[in-house]
Structures are given as structure tokens and as C-alpha cells.
A and B are shown apart, each in its own frame.
Chain A
């Protein structure tokens, strides 16, 4: 059986590239991505699974990386916001004031991207179900709603 004790090297596949990092079992995926792979897109907002600022995709499924252990994530395809380039949703966020301070934005972009990959034209309830996973304190959500709607309307 696969065993991880103390510091050892693991391989994580992030945004299509392989990274060899030395980790301990108690390290969360969020911290390893930020500290060892040095991608700071996913953010710590609560480290308790409550805010969604740390959201990444694992095999295309959005998860909160602050609640995942890095050692559990070998052999999986991890996507952070840095792996999303010039997508419709990113453009829409800029166009429709979907952000202000930007701290929650990485998490929202990843989550909204995933929603729009899974659904061609998600209805309001589905959008709400998915996006109520992430907190924003600045925008009041109007800009985010408009950004998502813009992508849907243009399809």
C-alpha cells in the first residue's frame, strides 16, 4: 500500500505540467501549490472550507484545496486559475465588473469556468447552486452574475 511518512517527494500535475515537490502528509494541497509550486492564484481566506478562495479543479471537478491533502493528489490533473488563459469567463469578469479587490476572484473564476464547461446554458438555479460555494465581500455579486450571464448569452 502507498505510504507517506515524513518528508518525501511526490509528483503533482498542475496545469498540465509535472512538479516534483517534497511534502509531508499533513500539508494541504493549497499550501503545497502556493509554497512549493509557487502558484499563488488560489488563496487562503479561511483554511476551513468556508469561503472558496482556494478553489481548484481536480480531474475537472472543483474542490476546496484547503481541505485536501497534497499526498492524496498524485496521479490527478490539477487546474488552478493560472491554468485558465483568456477564457470567456475571464474576459467577462473584466467586462462586467465581476471583481473589485480581486482576492476571491481566482476561486470564482475556477468555479464559474467549471460550471460553464459542464453546462452549455445553466439556468439561474444551477448558477446559484454552484456559485453560492464562493464568498465575495466587495461586489455584492451583481458583477459576477452579469459576467456569467454574458458568457451564457453569447453562446
Chain B
């Protein structure tokens, strides 16, 4: 059970939510936005998180959109992972989403929560990075729509009062050939030790990775290496690893040597499938 008290607000609009947020912060209160709640409730129970108030954003209209129109896919931040998978507008996103946690929990985990939460795996983020999705937010500076690759750097760099409202993906990108692979310590229902997502966009590989290192990433240097026709496969894999922003880490689920082996095999597989070379 959660053993500290907090207030709960249910916002009906983005403006309302931000206004309340700022009002509470002004009053020296610790505030958290509340979406699916799986992270907040479990963290709060163990006192890993503490707040004076939560603002529930699930009723904000923008957050509940799930549609495909005008060559754009719009997914509200409060859409559950299962709904994302069910509608399957973006197959790679479905693949990356349906392996997160377990089926029941995916009815509660929202795509917004997975991307902006504290857990470092952010598996639903990877397809969005490689598909160059946009994120629509609302904060003190009003509504903003920006490429996700500009907002994400180790984590989603939003202003503290800023709410992630929607994710917008080009239909064209969503239909591109893709590769997805996820590895675990032993049980499939577990945090991963590696999650890889890649697209082939106009012959070029777009590549994103999480769980292998301390945070997810997609970077240009690696993509240049992967798309470089002048070096061997072995060199590609070696140089990719050299260009990780941080080294592969050892943790409860896997040691770095094993994780590296897994990664090499998967990257090999990815390149086979997307670039068809040997």
C-alpha cells in the first residue's frame, strides 16, 4: 500500500492540467502527471517516488486519439500498449510494444508512460526514433510539435510542466521494411537485456537500441557505419559497438560479455534481413 498522502486531480484539458501543475508547484508541492499509473503506484508503494499531488491526464482529448488519417498515424499518450498493438497502424511499433511486461499490464501501461517514465527500457520508443516520429506536447509555451529525435536524449527532455499529448508518425515510415529483436535473461515476461529496432528507409538503415546500455539511443555515427558499403560485416559490428554513447552495462539480468555476444548476433541478423548482404 502507498503510505503517504497525496491529492488527485483529473484534468479535462491540457490547459487545465498545466495550469494546475504550475499552481501546485508555486505552492511548493511535488507534482507528478498520472497516466496508466503502473509505474507511479508501484514506485510510490516502495517510497521510490514521493509526491504531494498527481494530475491524471487520461481524459485529455488529445491523449485519447488513435487514428490513421491523411497519411499520418496519431497515437494519444494515454493509449494503452494493447490498443496500439490491436490497431496495428505501425507494425514495428506493435512488435516492440507487445513484448513489454505482460498482457494484462499492457492494458494499463500507456505509450506515453512507457516513453516518459523512469524505467530505462522504453521499448515503445525505439520504433518512434527510427520512424522519425513527431511528438505533440503542451506546456507553458503552449502546444509544440517537434521531431522526437530532437526531444529525446537519454530521456525525454520535456519541461517539467510539459505534457506529452500525442505521437505522430508518417504512414510511409510505418510501412517500411523493419527488423525487431528482443532478448531476455530467461523468461520472456521480463525486462529485456537487449531490444533492437530498425527500419530500412530508402535503402538506408535507421537503427535504435535499448536495454543493452544504461539508456536507449539512436545515433548518426552508428547509422553511417551500418550503411557504409566499404567496410566488412565484422568491421560494422565492431565499430558500432565502439560508437555506443556509453559502454554495454552488466546488471541483474545480464553480464556485458553475454550481452555483447547477443548484440553481435542480433545485429548480424538485422543486417542480413535489411541489407541482404552476407
Interface residues of A (CB under 8 A from B): 1-6, 24-28, 31, 47-49, 52, 55, 61-64, 66-69, 71-72, 111, 129-130, 132-134
Contact A49 B8 (CB under 8 A): no
Tell whether, in the assembled complex, residue A133 and residue B103 are in contact, meaning their CB atoms are under 8 Å apart. yes
The answer to whether A28 touches B103, judged by C-beta atoms less than 8 angstroms apart, is no
From A5, A26, A111, give the contact of B2 (CB < 8 A). Answer: A26
Q: Is B11 an interface residue (CB 8 A)?
A: yes
For window 79-104 of B, CB contacts with A under 8 Å fall at 98, 101-104
Query: How many A-B contacts are there with CB distance less than 8 Å?
Result: 97
One of B4, B11, B38, B104 near A26 (C-beta < 8 A): B4
Give the shortest distance, in Å, between A88 (CB) and chain B (any CB): 21
Given A24-B5, A25-B6, CB of A64 within 8 Å of CB of B56: no
Expressed in whole angstroms, the Cα–Cα distance for A38 and B198 within the complex equals 50
- CB of B107 within 8 Å of the partner chain: yes
* A72 pairs with B37, CB closer than 8 A: yes
Q: Are B8 and A67 in contact (CB under 8 A)?
A: no
Chain B window 103-137, contacts with chain A (Cβ cutoff 8 Å), 1 for yes, 0 for no: 11101100000000000000000000000000000
Is chain A's binding surface mostly helix, strand, loop or mixed?
mixed
Q: What is the distance, in angstroms, from B83's C-beta to the closest C-beta of chain A?
A: 10
* Cross-chain contact of A55 among B5, B7, B54, B104 (Cβ < 8 A): B104
Q: Give the CA-CA distance A96 to B248 in the complex, in Å.
A: 47
**Most B C-beta atoms less than 10 A away, residue of A5, A25, A132:** A25
Complex contact A111–B5 (CB within 8 A) = no
Contact B1 A47 (CB under 8 A): yes
Contact in complex: B7, A67 (CB < 8 Å): no
A27 / chain B contacts, CB cutoff of 8 Å: 1-2
Q: Collect the chain B residues with CB atoms within 8 Å of residue A134's CB.
A: 104
Known: A1-B10, A49-B38, A69-B37. A63 touches B5 (CB 8 A): no
